[in-house]
Amino acid sequence: MGLSILGHLGFAGGEVTFIDQDVVVYLHGNGLAISDLTDLANVGPTKFVTNNLECPLGISAFTTSVPEHLVAFAPRSAEPCIHVLKYPQLDPLSVLRGGTDLEYESIAISHNAKMLCAVSGPFDHHLYLWSLEIAQTLAKVAIGGNLATPCTWHNCSFSPKNSSMVCTGGSYGLVFWKVQVVNDHKLQRINAVIGSREDAAEDGNVLLDSISAQCWTQNNLVLAVGRSSVMEFDAHSGILTRLFPLAVALQESLCLFVTAIEEIILLLFSNGIVQGIRTSTSGSTEFMLNVAKEPCSKYSWCSLLPRRDGLLLSGPGRIQILTLNGADASSSKIFAGPNAAVIDYHNGPVLGMACQSINDPTLVTAGADGALGVWTRDGTLVGRHKFQISDVDSEDCVVSITSITSAPCNSNFAVGTSIGCIFLLSGKPKSQNNVLVDLVSLGNLQLCREPITSVIFHPEKDILAAISESNAFIVDTSPQKGSISLCVLAHTSFSGHLASSLNAAWKFETDFPCAGMSRLKFDSNGVTFLATSPISCDIMALASSDAMYRNGKLVVSKIESSHDKGVMCLGVSNGGELVATGGVDGRIALWRALTESGVDLVKLCQMNLHTGPVAYTHFSLDTSILYSSGSDGAVFSLNILVPQTLAIPSERHKAEHPKLTIQHVPIPAMSFHQATWCESCQEQIEKLAALKIKSHEAAQRSIIANLRSRLLELVAKNNDACLNEKLERNEFIIDRARHRQVLTASQRKANELEKQLRVEKQARDVISARIRHDCWDCMEVQATECHSFLTPRLLTSNFPLKLRADKQKHCLECVCFLRKLALRQSASSISLSLDSSVLSRRLSHNISWMVNQGKLLPSLDLINIEQHDSIASIKLLDGALENDGNDDEEARLSEEAWDENLTTTQLYQPIALHTSIQKRIQCVLVGELLRQAQADFNFRFGLLHDEKRIELGRILEKTDRLQGICGELGIMEDYFKHQFAVPEETPEVMIQVDKSEIYSSTPEATTCMVRKSTGLNADNTDDYHASKRALEDMMYGTLETKKETDRLQTVLQAPSWIDDQNHDDLTSEQKKELEEFETAKGLLAQQQAKYRKALELEFKKLRTEVSDIACSFDDKLKRLADHRVFIMNFVTTQELYSSRMCVGLLKNEARLITLSRLGSQISTLNLKKDCQADIVTSSLSLVSAESDRLNRLQAEDKNIDRHLKRDLQVEKQMVQEDIKLVLSYFRRNNLSLEEKPDDWRFDDTTWQMLLSSRKHKVAKEAMISDAAETLGNLKAKHANSLVVFGDIEQEIVKLRKRQAKIRAELATSEVNCEILVQVRQGQNEVDAEAAVTDYFDAIFLPVETIQG
């Protein structure tokens, strides 16, 4: 037998994409649904792409390619793969691997269908690029953002014209990427868009706020919608080109879609508002209209049709298509045609189903949105109704349907609502040829104000039972005179406020809440129910051997199911042969029920269809279709494939009522002001109580009138009496004023005392509440001791455990879930235990005394492996249980030890800890392991503590008997007496208050109070016990109860004449009587001796038994105390192990912070180095320029001498001696430039020539001197800049060395493993020295290894 998908009847909302011109793909359950929208009036059949991994977590992302008819999706699992299929055959083209380890947020296919990109998240922010032709990864790049922040990059897309352009957007803004191909593919990040968030990026680039919608335009621009504006970017440069503000009223809504149509930017928001912005007029709003069919409609997705002639909108349970007006796209008439929904399902999960036949077999579904839907066998919606409340004008007020069931004998069905009203409904065809159905009401009844949790029809009678949270009703639904009038036949209240008319046949309490219950069998032999619970994987069968109404015995049995977490719901076919269960894991299982000998379920098949818990399962009338709904909003109709070898009996015959014409009306609206049946019943009870009060008042008035008449009669008699007998008139008058004064004063004093007591009580309550919260309620396990019976100082205590905070529980759940995923991933290829080859690379073989060497689990690090060589012996460590050597039991324990749900399995191997995240997880898991060890010890301690109570009860019984024996024997013997130590062994007494503490008072105050109330003084003590004496007189002087005669104190009464007469004077009768007396006396002495001996033997035996009980308990207590020492050593060692890991993590954090600080310092020094390098280069260029200038000036200075000598030779035609003489004048330093020297013998022209050259020489020398000085200054500055540059380089080298050292320390810490070892005696001994030696970094080696 198998199950195949027939269709689906729900839509949860979300992304809807086209795979063809008229075919859409959307998420449904844990797979994909494909629907044909060619005929919008009649949506075509649906194909379902089952998740081939059968992953209950569903699909995280999918996309399509319209030109190539491709669909790609990524399941939500560890290391997911992306599957690419070809439509319409849905053949697998490729499987893309090598991506993220968590899940994908978004997937996109290029326009030519050659590449695929995907964005991972939320903690793995990477962009991946694959080639669809070769199915290989081309490039991978980190998007940005802090990896510790759960941001979302919720979309990625290719340019519609250029496959090398990619855009990613999300909560951290918008980033553009360019695909470059040199030797291989590479994603180059284009300059990020600048925004307002300073901490958005890790590399200093500041990104935009959250992007809710984006699109590419035809000219390679990108439109993105932020929180308050629409932005236009150039994709090539990432520059913001234009900014258009949004309307203020729309800034709080989520934008789903943006596109550009001519000069209009079209925006659609989640509330159905469409805004048009004209780009040519600085972003002014052109129009704004609402396209929602209902005011409360919410949308979650919008996309453009492949032909670009309309929009597709989707929301919970609805898909809607709007046609664009091609003639006028710039006004409020942008949409043309009817605004109708193509798919209109339930707006939320389906919580109930019922099958019946109006003309053909139909299905009625009840959703959380308060709507009823009528479906045909092929999945067509033919009827719909939504319950309304007439007293509320708001359209958001929804009356939820909490239960629904169909009648077994007719086509009626009953509906229970959240406001306590039940409806009896039926379906009526609108016309003879029309398949549409109208839902009409046959009757309704407002039972109570609380939700009706369950409604069920009687299998043979026209009655139904309705159950709420605190009430149960039996309602008559039989037709009378052509109409049905619902009336309550019986009622019971679970809270006890109303009178009960239903008696419980039997009662069974479970340890867990029941989520689903269904009747499997009902006949004269008994009734059988099946019950499920979301926290139990078992199905509970409840069977009564007698009829349910005979108070029969209840037989309870458990049936194991195939669900991993719990069973959420259960459905039974009409014949009772098939059972369908839905689990918390989203799995649907089909069973065959066998009830011949007891109750048993045989599993037939199962399917994984939902991503969350299954909410409801239901069979069709002919048991050919199985319907299922989940909390994810998905509804499936499954065809039950029955093989020929397995014959399912037809439906049992049920007596049907004759068809009657019953009056029906449209379903009325409900009212909050309508009185319920419970309120009417309560009103009648109150009226009866009021009548009783009135009758009581009348009786009291008659009594008062009688007293008044008697008083008046006495007054009349007093008036007629004589003077000696006549009383004063005031003696007949009651002083009401004084009475009122006394009452007022007493009431005032009582109010003051009450107020004072109330204040004191409030203070005590506050203090006690704080003490109780801090010392008791915050503890999961309170500190308790268990003392021995015989040994005074032998005791043990449990481990006090505090309650975990919700944050700690959530952290532990997340860590365990991640470890389970990792274990599942590695289970198929890598063994959980380390291979010996791996150990040989990590540890030396010479270390023979290292017990675990990383092979054992951390929980075994302190246990001698020679004594405990199996997991079974570890579990039986304390001696409370004994291993019988059963191999099957050891195998079972080994399998349990490697169960992924066990903490010992989830722990990392000690030498497998490499990363800081693994160490953090290891710390959490070690803490959980310690808590489990302490909890396990506390459980055993509780068992021993309870055993002590039992043993103490046995001892007390025996000591009472010992005390009685001592009294009978008249001896003073010591025997064992023991009581619980308070409050060490009974801590609960600290928060309990007994009556003696409540009414405690001093003896003096009590005596004074009694004497004052009785009118006695201190001197009259004899009359104080008058009542006691009267009681004694009444009981003839005896108040003791009659006791059994003491056999040891029995004495025979001798004859009265035995002391008065001699033995010789006795008569024969007296002698005979004396002989009988002596014989009886001897027999009595013998009996008393035997009885005394028996008592002594019983005394010894009881004392020995008490001693044996105490010794046996003390032995168990000693073993438990030894086990506690073992657990304490284990906890201490593991806590030190965890502390060392935490210290290592803190050191790593400090190293990372130091490394980051050093990196920033190096970056700053590199900037300074670059600046200083520029300064050195500029100073060097200045020195070079000044040196060239000096050389040039010096050359010009030499040329002045040459030019003078040449002029003298050429112009003056001087001889060599005259030239030397003129040059000697020229070189004189003290030569005056105004007067010729006395010894000048040449002409004036020569003098003028000499003066001109001399002036040039002096000027040139001054310039050379200035240039030399400037050159020296520049060289000094250049030398200083070189020194500064060298210092910066040295500082950078020093920081880099420190960085390298820290990186080496980090690398060492990554490969460093904290391994707990056990050292034998003698191997941890070192020589004693005068100073304390730190062996922190020491390695212990065997002595024989060193000596050998």
Closest C-alpha to 329, from 382, 377, 277, 399: 277
Q: Quick check: 840 pLDDT over 60?
A: no
What's the CA gap between 576 and 596, in Å, rounded?
A: 12
> Does 1325 have pLDDT greater than 90?
no
| Whole-angstrom distance, CA of residue 166 vs CA of residue 238 | 12
Separation CA 472–CA 451 (nearest Å)? 12
pLDDT of residue 1181: 92
Task: Say if residues 366 and 401 touch (Cβ distance below 8 Å).
Answer: yes
662 pLDDT more than 60: no
* The most confident of 249-253, 355-359, 1004-1008, 1113-1117, by mean pLDDT: 1113-1117
Compare 1051 and 138 and report the one with higher pLDDT.
Answer: 138
pLDDT one-digit tens code per residue, 428-445: 776 655 566 778 888 888
* Residue 207 pLDDT greater than 60, yes or no: no
- Helix (H) / strand (E) element for 704: namely helix 677-720
Amino acid symbol at 581: T
How far apart CA 980 and CA 787 sit, in angstroms, is 8
Q: Which of 150, 94, 96 is nearest to 123 (CA)?
A: 150
**What does DSSP assign to residue 1024?**
G
- Give pLDDT, residue 1092: 85
Q: What average pLDDT does range 508-536 have in this prediction?
A: 68
Say how many Å lie between the first and final Cα of the chain, rounded.
72
Q: Which amino acid is at 524?
A: S
In this predicted structure, the answer to whether residue 961 has a pLDDT above a threshold of 90 is no
Asked if residue 956 has pLDDT above 70, the reply is: yes
Give the number of other Cβ atoms within 10 Å of residue 1250's Cβ: 22
More confident residue, 1011 or 520: 520
Please name which of 376, 457, 470 lies closest in space to residue 415, comparing C-alpha atoms: 457
Quick one: which of 191, 196, 231 has its CA closest to 211?
231
Instruction: Give the position of tokens 């019983």.
Output: 1098
Q: Are 1303 and 832 in contact (CB under 8 A)?
A: no
Instruction: Give the number of C-alpha atoms closer than 13 A to the C-alpha of residue 531, restricted to the C-beta side.
Output: 19
Residue 751 has pLDDT above 90, yes or no: yes
Going from the C-alpha of 1173 to that of each of 1149, 1177, 1278, the distances in angstroms are 35, 6, 11
The pair of structure tokens assigned to 76 is 């939500």
Whether the pLDDT of residue 632 is over 80: the answer is: yes
Q: Is the pLDDT of residue 882 over 50?
A: no
- In the chain, pLDDT over 90 holds for what percent of residues? 12
Which residue from 171, 168, 178 is spatially nearest to 195, judged by alpha carbons?
171
Of 305, 320, 308, 263, the residue nearest 287 (C-alpha): 263
Average the pLDDT over 766-794 and give the result: 86
**pLDDT by residue (tens digit) across 1215-1241?**
677 777 777 766 666 555 556 666 666
- For residue 18, list its beta bridge partners: 24
Provide the token pair at 282: 């600085």
Task: Answer whether 1140's CB lies under 8 Å from 1336's CB.
Answer: no
Residues 6+ apart with CB under 8 A from 343: 11, 35, 43, 317, 318, 319
Give the 3-state secondary structure of residue 487.
strand
Average pLDDT, the chain: 76
Q: Is 80 exceeded by the pLDDT of residue 427? A: no
Q: What is the pLDDT of residues 989-1033, one digit of tens each?
A: 766 666 555 554 444 444 444 344 444 444 444 444 444 444 444
Whose tokens are 């922190």? That residue is 1336
pTM of the predicted model as reported, rounded to 2 decimal places: 0.52
What are residue 1277's phi and psi, to 5 degrees? -60, -40
Percent helix, percent strand, percent coil in the chain, to nearest 5:
35, 25, 40
Instruction: For residues 1193 and 1265, give the distance between their C-alpha atoms in angstroms, rounded to a whole number.
Output: 10
Would you say residue 1153 has pLDDT above 90? Answer: yes
Answer with the residue of higher pLDDT: 782 or 1202: 782
Please choose, from the candidates 672, 673, 676, 670, the residue with its C-alpha nearest in 3D space to the C-alpha of residue 497. 676
pLDDT at residue 179 tops 80: yes
- The pLDDT of 110-119, averaged and rounded, is 91
User: How many CA atoms lie less than 13 Å away from 1145 in the CB half-sphere?
Assistant: 17
- Beginning with the edge strand found earlier in the chain, give each strand of the sheet holding 401-406 in spatial order: 401-406, 413-417, 421-429, 437-446, 665-666
Evaluated on CA atoms 1336, 1337, 1338, 1340, the torsion sign reads: positive
pLDDT for the residue numbered 1013: 40
How confident is residue 894, by pLDDT bands cut at 50, 70 and 90?
low
DSSP string, 1248-1282: HHHHHHHHHHHHHHHHHHHHHHHHHHHHHHHHHHH
Distance of CA 130 to the CA centre of its chain: 36
Mean pLDDT across 580-602: 83
Q: What is the 3-state secondary structure (H, E, C) of 508-558?
A: CCCCCCCCEEEEEEEECCEEEEEEECCCCCEEEEEEECCCHHHCCCEEEEE
Phi, psi of 509 (to 5 degrees): -105, 135
Query: Does a cis peptide bond (omega within 30 degrees of 0) precede residue 983?
Result: yes
CB count, 10 Å around CB of 1254? 18
Asked if the model's pLDDT at residue 781 lies above 60, the reply is yes
